[in-house]
Structure 1
Amino acid sequence: MSVSKSKRTYKPAAQRKAQILHCALSAFAEHGYHATSIAEVCGRARIGRATLYQYFADKRDLLVALADQIAERVLKAHDELTPVRIPQGARPTPDQMAAFMQKRMTAILQVLFEDRATAQLVLRAGRGADGVVDGLLKRIDDAVLETLEAQLRVAKEAGVIRPLDEHFVARFFLGGFEKIVLSYLDDDRPIDVETIAREAALLELCGILPRDEASPAPRAGSHRSDS
């Protein structure tokens, strides 16, 4: 009588790597990054240490890979945004400009917050692993800043925004936007992506419109005195 022997199954490299990351994420979420051991990840993935080390150097490398996944999703959403084009002689209204900016911010925010648990884990754990959060932000910044500067340059040359230093303004905008995102990821406040995007768009727009359009309307009952 022949006895059938169970054979070990092998996964393609990409599939195995994704499985290990999934198991690492679940272990980090349950026990915390610092309390999770490589043995715990291997146990969940049902692999030996040697197999894990074929793909990842150590536990920090797992966290970096999770951060890279977030960066890739954000950059994909960023790359899919329609480039800014302003036809010659066109003068979009402030409301149209605000709606345009809000739509673009919403697209990025939805990607960041669709898997909030992973983003929170990477943010919190990354602070205890040198350079993980900084590396994540730099990868996104390098791509987004170039686009922001180009968009501001197009709008400035078309005369729809005031003369400005697009290099400085792009960094100011991105820094404020990142600070808001990180603050929401750092706690458990409810997220309203549309509201965040709208408020950010309106604040940024006030800083770049020509002075006469950016100035607030005079309050009722106020009078201007001419000397």
Structure 2
Amino acid sequence: MSKLLLIEDDRALSDLLKEYLTTQGCNVSQAFDGEEGLLQATSEQYDVILLDVMLPRLDGFEVLKRLRASNLTPVIMLTAKGDDFDRIFGLELGADDYLPKPFNHRELLARIHAISRRIDFVKQASSQNAELTINHVTLNHLSRRVHVLEHEIILTGTEFSVLQQLMSHVGEVVTKDTLSQQVLGRRLAPFDRSIDMHVSNLRKKIAQYSDSNCIQTIRGSGYVFLAQ
């Protein structure tokens, strides 16, 4: 059973989503403004947080920004349909995924399940292959920790999974569609920049301690993690 926190000020929509997700085996807590949501998110542990952008008291971006200062719980942003700025900005701040309103309840459930499967996969990683060290980057599957030249960098769950996929296929091109299916649990849609933004965030964090451009873009295809 997934333990979810739904931060949504539209009470009718929130109650509808809670009713649906509860019938699907989820344990759903609700918050109706940004301050209340941030307080709940930092005082209890959740498997996934569903975060609306337009919220009273604190908007969703500010909630996410403050949350990411100390908390890496996976976050799915609920954004206005067609608003690319909201989606891109949310991903830059550390959101794991986004879903534009109005959305199909089953698609939301599929996104939640995709994140849960990703977390379960990492937890079940074999201890024999627990650690990878390539091009100054060390990734530990079991502890979910990443170091660059002995400096720890803090990654969101999605960023960790993207890095894990790239390092597990070092020297090979991993397509954006493969990354989207393996990490986000869905086919890459046209004009979807989610994977690009997660890779961009990874590069920035690695670049804090290493000038090695270890993640190379293969135009029109995907990305490759370089061995040297």
Superposition TM-score, scaled by structure 1 size:
0.26
Of structures 1 and 2, the one scoring higher in RCO (CA 8 A, sep 6+) is 1
More helix by share: 1
Instruction: Kindly indicate which of the two structures has a greater share of residues assigned to strand.
Output: 2
Which is greater in Rg?
1
